[in-house]
Amino acid sequence: MILRGPCYDESRGLRLDAYLPAGPVRAVVLYLHGGGFLKGSREEPLVQALAARLSPQAVAVVSADYRLRVPLSAFPPQQAKEIAAMQARSVAAGLTLAPRLCGPAMIAAVQDASAALAAVRGGLVPGLQGLPVVVLGVSAGGIAGLSLAHPPKGMALARPDAVLSVAGAMVQPWRLRRAGPPCVMLHGQRDRVIGLENPALAARRATAQGIDLRLVDSGVAGHNTQVTALLEGRDAQGRPYFDHLLHLALGPGATA
């Protein structure tokens, strides 16, 4: 069953689609699309592929809109100043990605993802209220998901139960906290959009501080190819990378 288009933010016209299993639901995957905070859609073909894989596991998939191309001027002056300072700090921390990926459009996406998460937990989609929610974000969506797990200071945000980032990165690594939910970053070599050195930086910090944020190198080169690695790839021991998503949603015993 597909429930299309309920609005989770009336003021901004933001909507989501829910792909529901036939029976009782055990967990929810909230999908955040990629596109560099410039483009992308909740209606990507990947969403249906995810639903086909997860519905037999009694996991619902919710795919949400979020605002795109949000400029610094969209925020109140003090908040805009803080966002600009965070953007500069990301560069100073050693990140090598495009500034827009850690700027105002990213913060807007995090706010919207929080609102979508709260709406799912609050019963906007019948049958999903109170269930564990794993954020699955691709590229920019992964950045938003990880920032939702370890949010910027002073922002009141709904926190996911876990995050799987595919070809994304934690762009504010100084925000990592032990109280954060478990997070996995699936990434690969020679990514020209978000280089592997970016999630690796956060993973090193997390390891040093005992934080549950892990980097999994898919062994696959490129950026968009990481989605294929998630759906079809296996590690050196033959374990599907898709199992990382199942483990976050259903526990370590779940397998594809």
Task: End-to-end CA distance of the chain: give it in Å, rounded.
Answer: 21
For residue 156, give every residue at least 6 positions away whose Cβ sits within 8 Å of its Cβ, in sequence order, or none: none
Q: How many CB atoms lie within 10 A of CB 9?
A: 18
- Reported as a single tens digit per residue, the pLDDT across 187-234 is 999 999 999 999 999 999 999 999 999 999 999 999 999 999 999 999
Question: Does 255 have pLDDT greater than 90?
Answer: no
Could you tell me the residue range of the domain that residue 83 belongs to? 2-249
Q: What is the pLDDT of residue 155?
A: 85
Q: What is the average pLDDT across 24-34?
A: 97
Q: Yes or no: say if 117 and 29 are a contact pair by the CB < 8 Å rule.
A: no
Q: Yes or no: say if 127 and 20 are a contact pair by the CB < 8 Å rule.
A: yes
Task: Return d(Cα 225, Cα 217) in angstroms, integer.
Answer: 13
Question: Does 256 have pLDDT greater than 80?
Answer: no
User: Token pair of 66, please?
Assistant: 């979020």
Task: Return d(Cα 167, Cα 125) in angstroms, integer.
Answer: 29
256 within domain boundaries: no
CATH of the domain at 79: 3.40.50.1820
65 within domain boundaries: yes
Q: Percentage of the chain with pLDDT > 90?
A: 96
Question: Does 164 have pLDDT greater than 70?
Answer: yes
What phi and psi, each to the nearest 5 degrees, are found at residue 134? -105, 130
Q: What is the pLDDT of residue 153?
A: 81
Q: What is the pLDDT of residue 247?
A: 97
Amino acid at 212: D
pTM over 0.95: yes
- Number of domains, the chain: 1
Amino acid at 98: A
Task: Return d(Cα 241, Cα 225) in angstroms, integer.
Answer: 13
- Reported as a single tens digit per residue, the pLDDT across 62-107 is 999 999 999 999 999 999 999 999 999 999 999 999 999 999 999 9
Task: Return d(Cα 223, Cα 170) in angstroms, integer.
Answer: 16
255 within domain boundaries: no
Q: How many CB atoms lie within 10 A of CB 23?
A: 9
Q: Yes or no: say if 40 and 113 are a contact pair by the CB < 8 Å rule.
A: no
Average pLDDT, the chain: 96
- Reported as a single tens digit per residue, the pLDDT across 189-198 is 999 999 999 9
Q: What is the pLDDT of residue 152?
A: 85
Question: Does 253 have pLDDT greater than 90?
Answer: no
254 within domain boundaries: no
54 within domain boundaries: yes
Q: What is the pLDDT of residue 45?
A: 92
Q: How many CB atoms lie within 10 A of CB 159?
A: 16
Q: What is the pLDDT of residue 154?
A: 81
Q: Percentage of the chain with pLDDT > 70?
A: 99
